[in-house]
Structure 1
């Protein structure tokens, strides 16, 4: 289609403007004017031709009415869902008691350009892989959006000098979706499709809980009572769980392990192993199941001595008394003897 080809169209052909003389509701307060006299619109968007110096009007549908046009109370022409064939000259005629006035404006509807977009990979691993996205457009000012937020070059993201390539290093789970856009006219943008990335991550946030509640990794439970253990972690794809009892792999897998009636054979160490087949990461935690610890009752000690030891003890005591007395007599005798010699 040749957009430079002009075609005249009276607004009256779209909507019939009633005259003030006939209905008394339309009035021009001065020289009417279309502002601006040259306007650029964008395909599929709304376009508005502003008419100045008209205070009120009334209209009815004319022969070229398509359902997308309407004249507002201010006299402005409003076109919904503009199309390329709406390009051309638009002339408005206002019939008033003081005469008829005309104004003409040029409208060009510009094609809405939708840029293309591609990425080198859509399935990636968090903190390991990189993604390169390309925006296909002739525009030299491309804007990039990551998770619906505009981005610029930073420590992880690099935008090429021509702005058409975005490289994201060490991709993160929230770096999706990707989109590029161009500004067709001020504040109107052509946006590419959204590219969704599948980012594998985890497992992370692993927790191991139990009922009864464990204390420092020890679950105390009586024989015959129920015991439950639950292992959780977050990852994409979903975490894979394995359970070990005293080093032996159990035959079932899943987040929970339930022991309805605890037996002696079920006592011991339980280990939950959480893995992700894509990220190749694995974590584990342990719990020890055992009967409650109870201190032994204190026992009174009675000191007893056998008969032979009693005899020996008596003999030693007697001999000790004899030795003590003899020593005391000797000391007294020695003391008095020394005193007598001094007196002589």
Structure 2
């Protein structure tokens, strides 16, 4: 406990315990009592002593300082019928009675600690209740400490401790409430946080507690410097690089630049055909490209804290002959063009040969058929000529006539 906070004497604790027990008894028999939760106040804040079980037909609510309700120790009273207030000898200008009979003390001070008695007059009876008010100082902000403030991502761990007397402690990492998981561990008393593998998002740590009246109190923000990277090296050139090749003419200007994300800022190195150059900047400019400057270049990026190194490399060469473009996105060389033409010609000759063969075959079939027809006709004619003459038939009917030539024959 904070030494500056006033401590309760043993007899005061006994009075508070007695008032809590009396509250249960009074509530059971319909007696008025002061809510125990309202008997704790905070210095500098408003304190409200809540009256419970008060009847609606009360004629007067009277609050007194001490265990007696005498006129000499009256603070203030309120009469609902006339809606009027009356201050007493113990009134300090900070007290007031609400229409429900509660006592309000503004800007509570340590000397407000003590017994308070309320008297309720209903006309038919008078009830009294006494409670001990304890004014405490608001818990100070917790303090935070860590074993280190500079770490390497995915390598180092951090242990932070929240110094406070409170039992309800919450931890925030990068302004987000956290709990124990596979990467973080919070101790059973909630006052220690261990981050096993720190990431670049774990930049701010602080702890928070709830004090009296649930007023949150926050520690200072502990900033971590997390070293990380480089994750990737980005290369930009002019002329542009295609598939690791930069085509440039002799005498032209060539610009090369590297970019990498890293904390702290990375260091840059350049090499040409395996030999380290004297450049230590992220960019290089070759104002007039020479033959000896052709070859393979490498941009090397390293972080001295994380001890990570990455690089990108490319080749500078003169432009090659532009190939024959056949279609968009497709080209063939001259030798392939000749080979393609020869194949087309041979294919055409082969097709023409097949067509000619078909025509000749068809014509031959037709000629043979015609010759066979003529031969059959000649053969039939010869057979008719070689046959003997046939005797005419005897007419069986007088009405039939014979041709003239046949008459001469007969």
TM-score, normalisation: structure 1: 0.60
Question: Which stretches of structure 1, 4 residues or more, deviate above 6 A after TM superposition?
Answer: 3-6, 34-37, 50-57, 85-91, 296-299
Conserved 8 A contact 2:171-2:193? yes
Distance change (3 Å), C-alpha of 1:279 and 1:267: same
Deviation of the 1:230 alpha carbon? 1.1
The residue number in structure 2 matching 1:258 is: 285
1:58-113 Cα shifts (integer Å, max 9, x gaps): xxxxxx899xx9xxxxxx97968x7767767999xxxxxxxxxxxx9968353222
The residue number in structure 2 matching 1:38 is: 38
- The yes-or-no answer on 1:284 pairing with 2:281 is no
State how 1:24-35 maps to structure 2 within 5 Å.
none
TM-score, normalisation: structure 2: 0.52
- The yes-or-no answer on 1:210 pairing with 2:237 is yes
The residue number in structure 2 matching 1:151 is: 178
Q: Number of matched residues?
A: 258
Distance change (3 Å), C-alpha of 1:148 and 1:84: farther
Distance change (3 Å), C-alpha of 1:185 and 1:248: same
The residue number in structure 2 matching 1:16 is: none
**Aligned counterpart in structure 1 of residue 264 of structure 2, from 231, 234, 237:** 237
Distance change (3 Å), C-alpha of 1:242 and 1:2: closer
Structure with the higher fraction of residues in helix conformation: 2
The residue number in structure 2 matching 1:165 is: 192
Distance change (3 Å), C-alpha of 1:78 and 1:234: farther
1:291-315 Cα shifts (integer Å, max 9, x gaps): 111159969x9xxxxxxxxxxxxxx
Structure with the higher fraction of residues in strand conformation: 1
* CA RMSD between the two structures: 4.2
- The yes-or-no answer on 1:225 pairing with 2:239 is no
Distance change (3 Å), C-alpha of 1:50 and 1:264: farther
Distance change (3 Å), C-alpha of 1:78 and 1:220: farther
**Gaps spanning 5+ residues in structure 2: where?**
13-33, 57-77, 85-91, 96-102, 118-129, 325-333, 339-410
Q: Distance in 2 between matches of 1:276 and 1:189?
A: 41
**Gaps spanning 5+ residues in structure 1: where?**
7-33, 58-63, 70-75, 92-103, 302-344
